Structure 1
Amino acid sequence: MDLPNIALNKPTKQSSDFDSSLTSDRAVDGNHNPYNIVRRCAHVAVYNKPSLDWWQVDLQQTFLIQTVSITNRRDSYYDRLTNFSVEVHTSDPTINNNSGLQLCYWHEGKVGDGLTVDLPCAVNTIGRYVRIVKYSPGIRPLMLCEVEVRGTLLHKTYGGMDLPNIALNKPTKQNSNDDWSKSSDWAVDGSHSTNAEVRNVELNNKPWLDWWQVDLRQIFLVLTVSITNRWDCCPDRLTNFTVEVHTFDPTTSNNSGPQLCYWHKDTVGSGLTVDLPCAVNTIGRYVRIVKYSSGDKPLMLCEVEVRGTLLCNTFGDASVVFSRQSTGAREPDYIIASHENIGKLDCANMCLREASCNGFNFRSPSVSAVSCELLIGALDPIKNVSWDVYTICRFQCPSELAHEPPPSGARDFLQQAQVPVLHCPAVNPTEHLWDELGRRVRQRQREPNNVAELALALQQEWQNIP
């Protein structure tokens, strides 16, 4: 599957214009003519900014960027396109000093006369703004005849499907209300109105800490959190905040398993929406937005959307499949973490959050006593009547189950949905699953050529595993 050019006719800017005909939009008009004599290239002014020339395009949505292709001029001065970087930013670097800069590619040396170079981005380069920067241009300003960007929409990077807003109309909380009409649930009602006279969440009770949170009701791999700011007044209130994801409700648990999804250091523009990509493997049920030292500028949110993929539920709220390997025994040698006074399902979820964990020791919880020990490696437990040893499997739900919570009888639900229960092997359960998926993908008539095709192939082959 050939990915489309997502930069075509999108809004552009550059550090300066050579003249009124060589504007920044020339580089995304779809014309690959490299002869600048017909005025088809973007050209930064000579001598205008000798320390830095730049050109950028706003993709208008957040993408996983794979390649950036650049066509150089042919008729003369082709050596001006030399020693430049391709950057990807989460927010507009012309208005935000902390725009989430990521280096896609550094091109050292010249691009050939009239040639096009296809530059692969670093793995997991995610953002909305693609910027080409030439440092110390002197009398050789930046010139681009055409720029093409290819990637996959961040919300569609799992199996090519547009993921729904999993926060919509879910239960919410906040640390206080500015007044009775500005309740926390307004931020997940699906309305993107940015006029605070009719809708907003405003917090004023704790000047040192403001927070708002949503309960997703199940455990998800959280990919993005999108936040809309108000426009009519005081947009500078949405600034310097963190997005956290918790396994358990932080209002009732001192050990809620917090993970940092994203730290937004600067102000979100008036009436704008920012798409914030979470760190890799951010897993949890509660999404919380926190603003520290808010003072007289309380946290305000007009809308919050969360996108991610459901982790399969097979035992109540547990997001794992686990099975008892040994009764009345304990593995003493491969403990990587321990937790006091938590239940079996909580222990399984703690194991899920540790990439290397493949099992756990568990005993009945009691105050101030360790009841959960996370394990790694080959399990060879010894007799201990107080403990049991469990092995664990992790996997994501088939897509058709992603929006339907299981009934009280989880195994009955799986049987009704014709989904076979995965029985965990004793050692390294995920390795067997990935081996099977890998074999099936390699045996396909046409192997995947890019990340999007691979994601789709994995999704399809998952459905075919008996």
Structure 2
Amino acid sequence: MLKVYRVNRVTITNRPTHGWRINGAVIRIGNFLDIYNNTVCATISTLADGATDTFSCGGMKGRYMIVHIPGDQKILSLSEIGVYGYLAGNMAVDGAATQSSTFMSWFAEKAIDSNRGLQKNTSCSSTLNETNPWWRLDLRDVYKIRKVVVTNRNDCCPEQINGAEIRIGNSLENNGNDNPICAVIPAISAGESYNYSCGGMEGRYVNLIIPGDMKILTLCPVLKRSFVNMQFNSRVDLTDPSAREKVLKQLGSVLADKGFKNVTLRWSQTPKRVIQKVNADKSHCGNGK
């Protein structure tokens, strides 16, 4: 698939005749060219001639989707395959958020907009002061959820998050607040993010609710940053600031062509100029004196 995706589901359409040949086929998702190192999404027990069936992969992560039939003397024939998912990363940013009430312009979707609001009146969500305030994320499909990352506000009142429950499931009864509990948040320091393991719980909806009266639920988005240190040799004199700037622009252009557009490049230190001496071979061939 050229890039790593989280695969929600795979659809298989069988051939119009001799459909029994597909019986026992295995669907695998992963990042390995050795098919048996990839994870099994589903096994096709049987599929009628010309029929289409959908197999849930629960957000499995991989670059390759493989269909194979184990055993000897097998023939694999497929009329059509569909793979449905999204680029691996934060599932929340593609979801739809709502909350029990809204304080001024602190809308529910601000908790997932990737613009981390750590200053007053910036991009965090917040409810009014109320009984049992809640926030819900609709992932638009059913996933196996390994972890939920929650970021607390930094402007004031970090203790407001204390006691919040993270719930995951497929029911909208009581606005989704009756779904099974993944974790209870005892406390999160101001402006900090914390990971809560959900062990692959399945669900379309992720809820946060603070039980009790006179409560306010405020959530801020998670800021994802990656740092890569690079070291390289160059024939260009990188002690020259203009030369260093040119190298960064060239590198940025290459990364953009590869799809990495939100990248900040800088020198962590001023490069040192090293002149390498080449030792001439003074030995002589043959028996010359």
TM-score (norm 2): 0.44
Which is greater in Rg? 2
Structure having greater relative contact order (Cα 8 Å, sep ≥ 6)? 2
TM-score (norm 1): 0.28
